Structure 1
Amino acid sequence: MSVHAVSPLFVGRARELAVLGDALARARAGVSSTVLVGGEAGVGKTRLLVEFTDRADDALVLVGGCLELGTDGLPFAPFTAVLRGLVRRLGHDGVAALVPGGATGALARLLPEFGEPGKDGPEARARLFELVLGLLERLADDRPVVLVIEDAHWADRSTRDLLSFLVRYQRTAGRLLLVVTYRTDELHRTHPLRPMLAELSRVEWVSRAELRRLTRREAVAQAASILERQLPAADMDLVYARSEGNPLFVEALLSEGGGGGGGDLPESLRDLLLARVERLPEETQELLRVASAGGQRIEHDLLSAVAGLDENALSRALRPAVAGNVLVVDGEGYSFRHALIREALHDDLLPGEHTRLHTRYAEALERDLSILPAPRGAIELAHHWHAAHDATWALVSAWHAAAAARTSTAYDEQLRMLSRVLELWDQVPDAAARIGRDRFDVLRHTAVVAHLAGEYERGIAMAGAALAELDPATDPIRTAAILRQRGLTRYDLGREGNLDDLRRAATLVPAEPPTRLRGQVLESLSRMLYRPEDLTEKIATAEVARDIGRVVGDPNVEAHSLITATWARFRYTEVEAQLEAFAEARRIAADGEAYNALMRCAISESDALEGAGWHERAARVAREGIEESAHYGLARTSGTFLAINLAEPLVSLGRWDEALQVVEHAFDLAPPPPYRASLQGFVTDIALARGQLDRAEQLLNASRSVLSRGTYRDQTLLPHLRREVSILAARGADGEAVEAVARALEERDLVSSPRYVWQLLVSFARLLTGIASAGGPASEAIRARAAALLPRLREPARKLGTEGDLQEAQRLTFEALLGPETPAAHAAAADADAAEQVGWRVEAWERAVRAWVALGQPYAEARSLLPSAQALLAAGDRQEAAARLERARELAARLGAAPLLEQLDTVRRRARIGGGGGGGGAVAEEPAGEGQPLGLTARELEVLREVTEGHSNREIAEKLVISVKTVSVHVSNILAKLGVASRGEAAATAHRLHLFDDLP
């Protein structure tokens, strides 16, 4: 596996690239401008310019860089480089010809090849500035010019003056774009570039672009491009934490060693990071080494206590570090400008120095933990004892730090501290006595916290280790507690055995007297019972748990039980009653500070609203819940689950780009695998609707790898199945898609979850009717197989019933696709004449369209408008059909639904409906052209082709979007022109004459 030194993929700079692209477009139009591009070292300024100039096409790109020695006697260094490049490109005489008045002597100040510079003085300087501007003007006469000045933070005074002059007068140069880059981390308070940037920013045609560090998602893409593989999540977390999103640091950490884990820094990167430190006074370097042991951010009082310096000496040593941008003032303390600078300094400590410094920090915090806010003080104390290699105090302080983190709902930190206690347990003989807990208690706490932190696999492993410490016969209560915890985590991860764990736990906890644990076990058990046949047990168990919660004063159990009972009792037609019950559960949870129950209220309420088709309210509740989750330390678990509940209504409402942003933000939080798979599902839906099949398939495969490792409910599995079949159909694998539908009808329970089954049945119906009726590339056998499966779709549909407006809209769509719901009505429709059948289809699709409009689902509306328009065309109502096609096209274009747009345009073209709407009701017959065989019109050839494929008049009418009567007229004309008596003879003639050799 190769490792690229530089990422082949350019990520995270689309906005900045667009700023430069827009500026160049204005320059091409004759409007000059300047873009100032700032960012810290390594953030990607040069890479941005390379990508931009590579796309500059016809523009002349001139690049000059300032040198670090520019202030020591290299005036105009970037302009000298630009002029030298021009001489290489155009030759000495070519450049001289472009100098106004041929006065090349002044250019000798930039390049000796142009002779003697002449006298110094203000006039000579002004003359030089004018000549450079004039030279750029002449160059811009021929084509747009992009002048790039890099590293302006190193610019000497002369360079800054010339640059300022060019910016202020560039409008006279015509098609000129100036791009200036500089390092923001070099601009200390007295840096001479700061006032110049502030001054130029006030010029009307000057804009600034500040390059930020990469987000985690962008860094993941960069790392995958460098390594040509995905880095494991844990390794990527470490790379991102160390690099803090600086692209250069990501590249350096990955390219030397290929993994970027927690090893030593690459030498090249270490030298880069320490170069600025080594220019500082020795006393400042010594203080920075002391500060490096204190972490990325250190309070002033703590640094003072550890350094042992008085205030004057401390300030004297600190000031150069702040002025040199190694440290930045951060509230009442200081932060290293970049974490890797601190890491490089810390790695340079000698072993004895390392231990002494961390011990001094720990002792200072032991004396006064209030120096740092909770829980940071306790966590840093634990860190310093651990770094000082004192196992006893490292274990004790880690246990206390975990307790402090719990009070702040900092679950990730709590998990880290508890894990450290377990790591050190065997090194401290009296560990249990030191913390007042045995190893089982630590394991149980770790299992609970791992679940809260979203580390589900780890939580299951910890619970298993805790169970190994117990004998259920002698310790049934503690066994029940850890079984409950493992059951909950198994459920969230989709692992088998969750119900077994909870049922076993319920047998171990006595019913009398009521206890908190009994309530917790029964509440969890009621939540896991989801099969229709378990409904009575689910409600009864939830009610018992709620009563216990009320008696023992456990608001968490009481609120959770009420939520579970509410879900079991109410349907999507009873949303108001549901909302009242959820509000009561929210009140109980809020009064008892039961944060998990509060989050589940938001999850349940938003899900109920979406299931009922109340999309706007569902989105609002989910969004508010996501904001709450961050306050409770549950952003990665409850927060990302709520992102699922926010993305779903946004997809329903057609706010697809907003939904994608929600998903991307959730991905940045590294959600648990099942949540990630659900989020990927919505991105798959959007990709499918937009025709991005490769992306959809990639996402589906990623989701499949997660779902294959667990056991999941219909709400996860049925949408995944729908997507699998849809991708097969979109790929043209009709046979595989039809067989996938057949397997689903054979193997799946398609009556227990109406909310997800209706959506699946509509998708199946659309696929099968499309293959069975519309012809196309599918073979006759595949068409026959699809047609045979259609009656089987009606079997679950008749049993389902509908709950709420959303399911009713899906039922109406299903009925319009397949025909009336009841067998009797369907038989009547089949016996009716063609006109009555067309009339029924018009009315059926009208009902479906109205239902989707009422729900505010633009994509579903557009998809229903298409067959509605086709039915209207068959009925002869071209004007209304044209209006519906135009409305559908408007919706599809807004959504970016390219495949649907293509279908709509095909129907409009075949029906001879222009972009502006309908025409007359009659079919426009074009005369037989000179190149048409046998005197047939183009439309007659289309009809003959369908006849040759064996299609009936009705099937031909549906495919060509014309009436059955019109097809009959065309067939009669064809038979007359071919001189044959039957459709079979017409088909045989077409075959004999090779009219349609592409047919099978």
Structure 2
Amino acid sequence: MSARVMSPALVGRVAELEELREALARAPGAVLIGGEAGLGKSRLIREFATAVRGGETPVQVLVGGCLELGSDGLPFAPFTTVLRGLVRDIGIDGVAALLPRGDTGGLARLLPEFGEPESDTASGEERARLFELVLILLERLAERGPVVLVIEDAHWADRSTRDLLAFLVRNAESAPLLIVVTYRADELHRAHPLRPLLAGLGRLDRVRRLELARLSRADVARMVTGLRGAEPPSSLVEHVHARSEGNPLFVEFLLESGAEGELPESLRDLLLAGVQRLPEETQDVLRDASGGGTRIEHALLAAVSGLDDARLTRLLRPAVAAGVLVVDGDGYAFRHALIREAVHDDLLPGEHTRLHTRYAQALEQDPGLVPARRLWVELSHHWKWAHDPTWALVSSWRAAGEAHRALAYAEQLAMLSRVLELWDRVPDAAARIGVGHTEVLEQAATAADLAGEFDRGIKLATAALRAIGTGEGTAPRRAALLELRGRIGHQMARPGFVEDLQEAIGCLPPEPPTELRARTLAALAKYVRLTTDIPMAREAATESLRIARRIGSPEAEVSAQITLFCVDIDYERDEARLAEVEATAERARHQESLLRVAMIKSHFLEGAGRHEEAAEVARLGLERARELGVARSQGTFLSSNRAEPLVSLGRFDEADAVLRQALEQDPPVTTRTSLVVLAGEVALARGDLDAARGRLAEAHTSMGLKMQWLKTQDYFTVLRLEAAVRMAEGRPGAALEAVRGVLDHPGLPDDARYAWPVMVIGAAACAELGDAATIDGVPAFPLIEARVARMGVTGPAQEAHRLAFEAETARVRGMHDVDRWDAAATAWAGLKRAQPEAEALMRAGEAALSCGDHAGAARRLDRAAGLARDIGARPLAERIEAVGRRVRRRDDTAPLGLTPREFEVLRLVAEGHSNRDIAAALVISAKTASVHVSNILAKLEVASRGEAAATAHRLALFGPG
């Protein structure tokens, strides 16, 4: 058979096509399509694209494929293809119209047609902005009509492509954008880098996993019928199904090779059968083409093969006719990557080396044979396989520079790593690339930091420090590397990061002042302020600020001011200091600093109890983050700062929306902990105890991954959530175990803000447990009181917690202090904190009830019930209703001089209940129950509980039931 055999109809994929259509109807979302090689993933995509392009509502389908060179460092390859196609369809002006301010410069790192990058700097912020711009472009395109973005062969995706893909899937929010990803499931070995990405995305609600199965015998029969144009003999179907095992590609190959006759013994032979039937000269050209990847430009193939256009076309025509190659734009693609792999693997070692040498030479003679962004990566690839270490090293160095400019730090690191691997094999390596081995190590360490490869970053920085030594003139470079290693060490919670930063500062003399010293001091202050060594942090931040002002660096100045402000916040007196920081940032017009100001200002306002202002500042900060294209990086931190005051105000629906969106963006662990804790608090307030437990488990996992030292803001809030969950479970003893973490770690920064809420829960647990309230066998409440005695109070929020703690203290001691609970409720009302106000009013109502003030109890409970209902705090509303029922079933007086509460306790004593049973029935502590029993014995003038019960029965105080 000389002509290409392809099934005229897609067989066995009706359900998969329908799933894709449904996913498009529900967009935004994503579908991840996996399957072994040859199962028809690309054919499925082509059929789907054809169907939706011609539907009632035309859909734009953008397709980009990952290249086998991806692992060698060609960054963002499929997205470059997509952008190039988009420019071809709507022009550069059409693309510009979809972008903020019509500025395409931000995309220049992906496609040279957009001009020069807006900034020469490369940083995490620039990379985040690039990602944001791609998302904005796709979403605005989708606003005009549905868009399907297809990324094929993701098993070959480079790290930057995987990162951008994950970002898009997680953050597509409203426009009808469907992202479809295909990959070879059989390529995903245990350590394959795509596996964690697929696992992470697969957990999102908007993502579907679709695994293509092999064809059934019936499907194979239909496919054979379509290919042959007639009903096949049953024996042929059995034969093809058995040999192909239901793989559509192999079905086609088997029929091409003549399935009725003798069949190839191996898969390799099967794949090569169609090639081997072609003319010898055509086979030679296909061998040449196999060295260029699955797709190759016509001009490049002509240069490599040494054939003119006419002859090359004539020789390729049989391969196209036989379906071994397909025409793809201005080049050719192998019908399937497996064919290319089989042809390439069939080369002899000498042929393999000579072929890649010819590719490299052709590209050096005419760099225009491939797009500019691919040139150095391809040269590195071909010289490597040509076994020419000198030119592989030079090309890898140039490819690293291109990757850096494209903000593809993982690929930059890969290329620099190749330079380092080849270094000893090139005697004049330094002369070839213009820098020494140590400089390459330094650049690689920086790239590892930016790529998030922290382990490698520490190793590379350490190697560079050894190479630099401590000779004269090395101090600035040593300081920069130590500062880098210290920052990375902090990210990984590695011991020694503070010492690295201190040593870096020691390398830099105070005079003359330098920006590097200012930056290193600021880093030391920023990290040390998370420990108990506040004086060191304050001293470092103060010197950093002094240097910044001397050298006239507004960016360094505002960074130092922010760090100094955060070292020791006073929520009553620091508003003027905050205004000074904000003014400096406005003068500097440094966008990152302005975002940091929004973060600390919203943090300050929330801590000061100014919750509505805090929420608004964080909202405006989020808008600024969106304008700058970093909504999904710094923006997630601001989302935490926006959600926290919304939770404080009891605006749980708004908080939940903010938290869900932020968590779907896969924020860094340093931000995720806060988001998860807040989500747990919302779930707990609404009565979803299972969800709260889940969030608590997530928070503990985040803390375990995060750091070996304790950051107050995260550690204490996790303990606060744990204590609250245990109380909701009716386990006050377990709540005290969580409280112990705060007792054991006094003196951390911002201690009072985060310790007060936990101390209030601890006191409540002690009130519930009475004498049984212990921690490691020691009475718990004296430990809590001692901790509170060392805590200050700054601002109305902390004052409200203090008043609540005093009220709980009275409850621990068996007192019914209405006034203290009223004072706490008034303080919470002033802050518009509905949930704690309702809780305080409920306790005040209970206290009033115990004192016989039924009307006062009812008044407070009615107010509390309204507040709880308004914010949707169901468990709290149910507790308030339970107390209210006790009010409604009592008279204003009780016999024998007993209070109404004592009369109810006596009824339970008469029924034979213990103090613990009484406490559970009346929602009071066991100690309070004991006090009531003692008062009853005194008023009845009896010596024991039995005598009290006997008196009650003798006087018939309680009727039947």
State the TM-score, normalizing by the size of structure 2. 0.60
Distance 2:951 2:338 in 1: 84
**Structure 1 equivalent of residue 403 of structure 2:** 405
Tell me the residue number matched to 1:908. Answer: 881
Alpha-carbon offset, residue 871 of structure 1: 4.9
1:504 positional shift: 1.7
Q: How does 1:24-43 map to 2 (within 5 A)?
A: 43=33
Paired residue secondary structure (2:571): coil
CA distance in 2, matches of 1:347, 1:791: 77
Letter of the structure 1 residue corresponding to residue 884 of structure 2: A
- Equivalent positions of 1:360-375 (< 5 A) are 366=364
Structure 1 unaligned regions, length at least 5: 1-12, 21-34, 46-67, 69-150, 154-181, 200-207, 253-266, 773-779, 821-825, 894-899, 914-918, 927-936, 992-1000
User: What is the distance in 1 between the residues matched to 2:314 and 2:199?
Assistant: 33
Match of 1:418 in 2: 416
**Letter aligned with residue 209 of structure 2:** P
Aligned match for 2:947, one of 985, 989, 992: 985
Q: Which of 781, 793, 803 is the aligned partner of 1:790? A: 781
- 1:762–1:814: 8 Å Cα contact kept in structure 2? yes
Say which SS state the counterpart of residue 437 (structure 1) adopts. Answer: coil
Work out the CA distance in 2 between the residues paired with 1:476 and 1:770: 62
Alignment of 1:265-344 (within 5 A): 271=247
Change (3 A) 1:504 1:879: same
Aligned equivalent of 1:508:
507
Give the match for residue 471 of structure 1: 469
SS of residue in 1 equivalent to 2:885:
coil
Q: Which residue of 1 aligns with 2:909?
A: 944
- Counterpart of 1:350 (choices 345, 348, 353) is 345
The 1:757/1:704 distance shift into structure 2, 3 A limit, reads same
User: 1:144-191, CA deviations, whole angstroms, 9 ceiling, x for partnerless residues?
Assistant: xxxxxxx9x9xxxxxxxxxxxxxxxxxxxxxxxxxxxx95531565x7
Structure 1, 435-444 or 725-734: larger mean CA deviation: 725-734
Aligned CA distance change for structure 1 residues 986 and 704 (closer, same or farther; 3 Å)? farther
- The equivalent of 1:123 in structure 2 is none
Partner of 1:73: none
Q: Determine the structure 1 residue equivalent to 2:435.
A: 437
Match of 2:195 in 1: 236
**1:911 counterpart SS class:** helix
Shift of 1:790: 2.8
Asked if structure 1 preserves the Cα contact closer than 8 Å seen for 2:294 and 2:333, the reply is: yes
Q: Report the equivalent of 1:561.
A: 560
Structure 2 partner of 1:453: 451
**What SS does the aligned partner of 2:793 have?**
coil
TM-aligned CA deviation for residue 520 of structure 1? 3.0
Structure 1 match to 2:496: 497
| Cα distance between partner residues in 2 of 1:42 and 1:952 | 56
Select which of 209, 222, 227 maps to 1:247. 209
Contact 2:773/2:779 (8 A) holds in 1: no
Q: Which residue of 2 aligns with 1:185?
A: 46
State the alpha-carbon separation in 1 of the partners of residues 952 and 326 from structure 2.
85
8 Å contact kept, 2:700–2:718: no
Q: Relative to 1, partners in 2 of residues 1:452 and 1:603: Cα closer, same or farther, differing over 3 Å?
A: farther
Q: How far apart, in 2, do the equivalents of 1:758 and 1:691 lie?
A: 23
Distance 1:513 1:697, change over 3 A: closer
Alpha-carbon separation, structure 2, partners of 1:429 and 1:241: 45
Q: Which residue of 2 aligns with 1:867?
A: 843
CA distance in 2, matches of 1:888, 1:420: 65
Q: Aligned runs of 1:679-718 on 2, under 5 Å?
A: 679-686=675-682, 688-689=684-685, 690-692=688-690, 695-696=694-695, 698-707=697-706, 710-718=708-716
In the alignment, the residues of structure 2 paired with residue 385 and residue 477 of structure 1 have an alpha-carbon distance, to the nearest angstrom, of 36
Residues 570 and 794 in structure 2, CA contact (< 8 A), matched pair in contact too: yes
SS in 2 for 1:496: coil
Distance of 2:385 and 2:47 partners within structure 1: 32
1:691: Cα distance to partner? 0.3
Q: 1:650-683 CA deviation, whole Å, 9 max, x = no partner?
A: 655523432442343332x7x4x55555554445
Secondary structure of residue in 2 paired with 1:483: helix
Contact 1:40 1:184 in 2 (8 A): no
Q: State whether residues 549 and 555 of structure 1, in contact with CA within 8 Å, keep that contact through their aligned partners in structure 2.
A: yes
**CA displacement at 1:427 relative to structure 2:** 3.6
State the match for 1:847 in structure 2: 827
SS at the partner of 1:247? strand
Alignment of 1:565-604 (within 5 A): 565-568=564-567, 571-573=570-572, 577=576, 580-584=579-583, 586-587=585-586, 590=589, 600-601=596-597, 603-604=599-600
Give the distance between the partners of 1:944 and 1:644, measured in 2 at CA. 50
Give unmatched runs, 5+ long, in structure 2.
1-15, 59-145, 155-164, 171-180, 215-242, 257-273, 895-901, 954-961
Residue by residue over 1:30-49, the C-alpha shift from the partner in whole angstroms, topping out at 9 and shown as x without a partner, is xxxxx99999998499xxxx
Go from structure 1 to structure 2 and tell me whether the alpha carbon gap of 1:700 and 1:541 turns closer, same or farther (over 3 Å shift). closer
Match of 1:807 in 2: 798
**Percent of aligned positions with the same letter in both sequences?**
31
Instruction: Quickly say closer, same or farther: Cα 1:788–1:600, change in 2 above 3 A.
Output: same
Q: How far apart in 2 are the matches of 1:487 and 1:566? A: 22
1:409 to 1:733, Cα distance in 2 relative to 1, 3 A? same
Does the 8 Å contact 1:696/1:727 carry over to 2? no
Offset, 1:865: 5.5
Q: Are the aligned partners of 2:822 and 2:840 in contact in 1 as well (CA < 8 Å)?
A: no
Q: 1:360 to 1:507 in 2, by over 3 A?
A: same
Q: Deviations over 1:811-870 (max 9, x none)?
A: 3433443359xxxxx99x96xxx6xx32442343232244243xxxx6555555643554
SS in 2 for 1:511: coil
Alpha-carbon distance in structure 2 between the residues aligned to 1:396 and 1:209:
41
Tell me: CA distance 1:277–1:808, structure 2 relative to 1, closer, same or farther (3 Å).
farther
Match of 2:263 in 1: none
1:37–1:210 CA contact under 8 A, matched in 2: no
| Alignment check: 8 A CA contact 1:494 1:711 kept | yes
**Residues 869 and 877 of structure 2 are in contact (CA less than 8 Å); yes or no, is this contact kept in structure 1?**
no
Amino acid aligned to 1:848: W
Paired AA for residue 890 in structure 1: R
**Paired residues, number:** 737
Partner of 2:660: 661
Residue identity opposite 2:431 in structure 1:
A
Q: TM-score, normalised by structure 1?
A: 0.58
Match of 2:764 in 1: 766
After superposition, where does 1:201-240 map in structure 2 within 5 Å?
234=193, 236-237=195-196
Partner of residue 167, structure 1: none
Partner residue of 1:890 out of 855, 861, 869 = 869
Other-structure match for 2:136: none
Q: How does 1:913-924 map to 2 (within 5 A)?
A: 923=891
Using the TM superposition, give the Cα deviation of residue 905 of structure 1 relative to its aligned residue in structure 2, in angstroms: 2.0
State the AA in 1 paired with 2:762.
F
Matched residues in 2 for 1:194 and 1:558: separation?
A: 55
User: Aligned equivalents of 1:785 and 1:209: distance in 2?
Assistant: 61
Task: Specify whether residues 557 and 210 from structure 1 end up closer, same or farther in structure 2 by C-alpha distance, changes over 3 A only.
Answer: closer
What is the one-letter code of the residue matched to 1:525?
A: L
Conserved? CA contact 1:647–1:663, under 8 Å: no
Q: Tell me, yes or no, if the aligned pair for 1:477 and 1:508 is still in contact at 8 Å.
A: yes
Secondary structure (helix, strand or coil) at the match of 2:665 reads: helix
The letter for the 1-side match of 2:510 is A
Q: What are the Cα deviations for residues 338-391 of structure 1, in whole angstroms up to 9, with x where unaligned?
A: xx9657755753364876776666556546667877766555554554465543
The 1:37/1:970 distance shift into structure 2, 3 A limit, reads: same
Maintained 8 Å contact 2:356/2:383: yes
Q: Distance in 1 between matches of 2:628 and 2:526?
A: 21
Report the secondary structure of 2:513's partner residue: coil
Residue matched to 1:462: 460
The letter of the residue matching 2:914 is E
Shift of 1:628: 6.5
CA distance in 1 between partners of 2:435 and 2:741 (Å)? 54
Residue 787 to residue 298, structure 1, CA distance change in 2 (3 Å): farther
